[in-house]
Amino acid sequence: MNDWIAVHVVDFFNRINLIYGTVSEYCDSASCPTMSGGVRFEYLWADGEKYKKPAALPAPQYVALLMDWIEAQINNEAVFPVSTDVPFPKTFVPLCRKILTRLFRVFVHVYIHHFDRIVAIGAEAHVNTCYKHFYYFVTEFDLINSKELEPLAEMTAKVCKDSISPTQNTAPSSNQGR
């Protein structure tokens, strides 16, 4: 299971980094003075080293720090082992939850603040497909707290029409087939 999560974390990191790269020239300290998803959601940066206390940062700085931090985690063989005979650390899944939660925030920012640019370059279908893959993966394996998913709930309902919310009962009723 950890191998499956590791492969997807690396893939999502690469894909979301590319998606952000398509809008990065339009995301600067003036247009995006905070890392946010609309007015209701502001994301603070903390890495436990340089930023011990959560700090409000312009979106481009937040994303740059995030991508550098994730890359350092992925390249750390004690965390993401490259050899099959080296076990994953006990902290692996919690760390992946943190990575994926933070990557989701990039989706939030791009969808809410820069989606017009995504549409203008004809990348809407690609970004939506990447988002669906990400969403289905993190919900299937319970890797992001449902509260974190709220900023894109309405959009997710449209893009992932066939999805079932985690609170819905998926068991067949006893009256089925009668």
Annotated binding-site residue? 114: yes
Number of continuous H segments (helices) and E segments (strands) in the chain: 5, 0
Amino acid at site 94: P
Closest Cα to residue 88, out of 72, 99, 97, 76?
76
Query: In this structure, which amino acid lies at residue 79?
Result: V
Has 109 been labeled as part of a binding site? yes
149/97 Cα distance (integer angstroms): 13
Total residues belonging to the chain? 178
Of the chain, the end-to-end C-alpha distance in Å amounts to 39
Q: Using alpha carbons only, give the angle 117, 13, 63 rounded to the nearest 5 degrees.
A: 60
Q: Is 32 within any annotated ligand binding site?
A: yes
Binding residue numbers for Zn(2+): 27, 32, 109, 114
Binding residue numbers: 27, 32, 109, 114
